[in-house]
Chain A
Amino acid sequence: MENYALILVGTVLVNNIVLTKMLGLCPFMGVSKKLETAFGMGAATTFVLTLAAGASSLINEYLLGADYAYLRTLSFIVVIAGIVQFTEMFIRKTSPVLYQVLGIYLPLITTNCAVLGIALLNVQAQHTFLESLFFGLGGAIGFSLALVIFAAMRERLEAADVPAYFKGSPIAMINAGLLSLAFMGFSGLVK
């Protein structure tokens, strides 16, 4: 149990997928303009990432094994795309309201490199199925956390008096760097 808690804290704070591992930067910069959309994207990614981490772990263990390790990237991408599609259909049926909110972000997750990144990192770290699941969940929560924090910062930036040359993306990049530096402070948290 302690192990799983450690994985969760480790992936959310210490090895934050976006701010430390530098994965999934595209949605991090792209959908962080508004807090509302950041929440939506975070929720959708959390769902998909956790499922994808579990599914890819199962596939790696029972289908590919060591012999067909070279099929990992290919098969993981196929599985991720499938899960995203499935999630989209499922949400559309069960909760039209949620679909309205998440709708456009769901297909975007297929190309989120954090999803594939987590799946491959799971293999690299030789996680078991449960560990993979927690690793995925932690990574996803970390992603959502970074996204929401960053979106909140950018909303503030809109009102701030930024020099003309730094307006928009440049100051957002600088902010992302600072946020990343701040997260480095967590590196001493888990020994």
Chain B
Amino acid sequence: MKKYGKWAFYLLLIVIVALIPLYLNRSKSGKYTIQVLTMAMIWAIATLSLNLILGYTGQASLAHGAFLGIGAYAFGIFVERVGINIWPALILASLITAFLGMLVGLPSLRTKGPYFAIVTLCFNVIVFKVFENWTWLSGGLRGQKVTMPSYLEARWARYYVVLGFLILAILIERQIVKSLLGSSFIAIRSNENLSEAVGINSFRTKLLSFTVSCFMVGLAGGLFAMEKGSLDYTITNYMYSFYLLIYLLIGGAATLAGPVVGTVGLYFLLDKIKGIGEWRYFIFGLILIVVIIYFPRGIVGGAKQFWEWAKKKYYRTGEVLE
């Protein structure tokens, strides 16, 4: 019974989210909000991908900004220069990102903890410099145009496409983390040496997690290109890796709702305070420090903890009453 209630809640949530554009599409500012929400959902997919490798597997990848850019450019180039239909292009872009992710993971996942974070960050800087200098690839500051078919010209149409992929991404991540494979991921996050001692090949497991994670962030990149309509090399900036980290930690790592809540919430908020320009990142930074010190499990993690605590409190009182 309880289970049905949960599914009913999710269904209701999806219906509400699906109805939002119908309401917003009536006004000009509403249409703009649709665009903001679409972009927020794309970033949410990227944050979900980071959640898989960092939140569940415990490896702090700071290369996800680069992989987002790689996915976006792969998609853009397939659509624009090769002339492939967007749907197979989206899959191809994700596959290429996953493959490159595996190649990067092969040397870098041999390192642990802070070493891995630094190596992946260095990789991100390299990718950024390469995209900056190889204008034949990136188009430099002029960028790479990405033309969409006419049925995706309306903002609400892209909103639904992205919403569909976001739900898919959540489902994929859920299937993985609730599975036996997911238990291997979590084992490595918790205690890598012990995982090895109980027969888990930690390197291969981490590589799998990283590859899947890169597939997802490549998908987010493709959708990013689809939504933007044009790309330039700054999309590979490592600041995006930091932003993803921030979205994830403020939302709540190692939860399924956290990355979505954190990303959509923060992205929306940052857009609302656009008027103050650069200063919003000042606030962003302050929030980050406060959250990591006082709420290290993020919004969703903290809420869960509170819920558990409240439940226990309730039950204990119940016992006393009996």
B is bound to A: no
Hey, which bits of chain B sit against chain A, CB under 8 A?
A: none
Hey, which bits of chain A sit against chain B, CB under 8 A?
A: none
